[in-house]
Structure 1
């Protein structure tokens, strides 16, 4: 039933956005005052392998610097992330749940992470959920970004971020803590079964390189953070990134790697760049 609903919404999304975007994760950016071609690539933050497609390796070799969502090479990144994990105004997970639900989460976290909910009580629930990602996949967790960073270092190229860690962490202050906690409770109650199913579908969709289907997948997700907060998670960030991408691409041929969910849709990076007068063409 869920797959039928996904198919229906996928068809609707294609009608809404007009001409469908081609099925590829790699796009080249040219036009206006861009003198040398830059590339835009859709990444996935959780994967079982970090090997890069040949076309991506070629694109990296044709550019002179790498821009990810964050500067993954910044030695202060981990400390800054740790500092931004806490909820504001003294909010705690126990204050966002009933006693029974907090007990369920506590038992669940002890089983999965070896940590009590009380120890993590002040951390944003989304961050606690992120700690569970390795438990959702049947392999050692990697990311496409790791592969991009590794190759860029081999080429002695600089690595930068389109946004600061503070900007990214602000997203999870804008999404109500109650919603984040409710998702953590759901994960605890179904012992990650729903999360594992969604991750499997995400992997399958990513491998198909269908970026419009990825948008539809997010909008039909049973996780309310994905399905109800597209404006905060994607749209607002895309609109901030596009002027930065344009400015950077004018200065130097650049490889931009951002989450694949940011590429498609009416307010995706591809469409926003085209609206700004730039050519964004698929690379197969």
Structure 2
């Protein structure tokens, strides 16, 4: 599970939002822009049809405040668009709705407990890890391993300064709300929860076992954000799929979390390209790269696909 954190940062957004509600953490953006290094390529593409353009931005769902300000190419594309399109508009999900999703998809049946499914030593390690962040294990003991894993990863990321509140998705959702720009969804919260909850418990337990003692998390995250800031598609592809190369048994997970979703997203994006309005689409960066990534899929469909530069 060497690089699973980097895949999470580029993969699915809803579980991060819901777990922050479970932990009682605010999901409102509080980014405080600070200067970042000059760069040329941006992790955004302009997709052109005969009638319109769609801007496709690869997002990282958790980030640090040092990611801001964003490139002018990204900000200008957002300003020019009539619609913001995201995976799921988490600003529209109430706390009650979020908790109901966690109950429906993450809660064990009555009588089942996480402590019965984790090895005793791993359960104790997880308990110790969560206690460091002020989280009582009793809060999670009724939930399945994917909830515990994502809670743990969320807290570890936050301890290093990487927060959902600084994520690119939330940044643009808040910006759209303030400016009155319409926000559209590519997916639903329930669909995303159904996906992540379908990952076998055994895989999630293995992920907890490895990542709870991972000493290189910060290094992995730095590599991820360097690739994103440099607009480095090749490196982002390596980051996204390295775990799959090392562990082919993860193929069903990757197919479900990336390939299948990419095809569904492609259908929606093609609908936008048939319109005459400009759309600004924000999805996890991992969905853009690779043979079955959105950039390649759109090129194969015959659309003009251009990666933008900071000065564009």
Whether these two folds match at TM > 0.5 is yes
Corresponding residue number in structure 1 for 2:122? 101
The answer to whether the 8 Å contact 1:45/1:143 transfers is yes
220-229 or 146-155, larger mean C-alpha shift: 220-229
For residues 101-155 of structure 1, what are the alpha-carbon distances to aligned partners after superposition, in whole Å with 9 as ceiling and x for unaligned?
2122222222234311x43023343333333434335336211122212332343
2:280 is aligned with 1:255: yes
Instruction: Provide the C-alpha distance between the structure 1 equivalents of 2:156 and 2:108, rounded to a whole number of angstroms.
Output: 30
Question: What's the TM-score once normalised by structure 2's chain length?
Answer: 0.74
Q: Secondary structure at the match of 1:220?
A: helix
- Root-mean-square deviation (CA, aligned residues, Å) is 2.8
Question: What's the TM-score once normalised by structure 1's chain length?
Answer: 0.80
Instruction: Provide the C-alpha distance between the structure 2 equivalents of 1:283 and 1:219, rounded to a whole number of angstroms.
Output: 24
> 1:67 aligned to 85, 95, 107, which one?
85
Instruction: Provide the C-alpha distance between the structure 1 equivalents of 2:93 and 2:124, rounded to a whole number of angstroms.
Output: 37
- 1:273 Cα deviation from its structure 2 partner: 1.7
Instruction: Provide the C-alpha distance between the structure 2 equivalents of 1:179 and 1:273, rounded to a whole number of angstroms.
Output: 32
Question: Taking structure 1 as reference, are residues 271 and 140 closer, same or farther at Cα in structure 2, changes over 3 Å only?
Answer: closer
Q: Unpaired segments of 5 or more residues in structure 1?
A: 3-21
Match runs of 1:256-275 below 5 Å: 256-275=281-300
The count of residues paired between Structure 1 and Structure 2 equals 259
Name segments (4+ residues, structure 1) moved above 6 Å: 222-226
- 1:89 Cα deviation from its structure 2 partner: 5.9
Instruction: Provide the C-alpha distance between the structure 2 equivalents of 1:105 and 1:174, rounded to a whole number of angstroms.
Output: 22
2:258 is aligned with 1:234: yes
157-166 or 249-258, larger mean C-alpha shift: 249-258
For residues 12-33 of structure 1, what are the alpha-carbon distances to aligned partners after superposition, in whole Å with 9 as ceiling and x for unaligned?
xxxxxxxxxx95411111125x
The answer to whether the 8 Å contact 1:72/1:160 transfers is no
2:215 is aligned with 1:193: yes
Instruction: Provide the C-alpha distance between the structure 2 equivalents of 1:219 and 1:208, rounded to a whole number of angstroms.
Output: 18
Question: Taking structure 1 as reference, are residues 106 and 75 closer, same or farther at Cα in structure 2, changes over 3 Å only?
Answer: closer
- 1:98 Cα deviation from its structure 2 partner: 1.5
> 2:61 aligned to 45, 48, 65, which one?
45
Q: Secondary structure at the match of 2:58?
A: strand
Q: Unpaired segments of 5 or more residues in structure 2?
A: 3-39
Instruction: Provide the C-alpha distance between the structure 1 equivalents of 2:122 and 2:176, rounded to a whole number of angstroms.
Output: 45
The answer to whether the 8 Å contact 1:96/1:178 transfers is no
- 1:185 Cα deviation from its structure 2 partner: 2.7
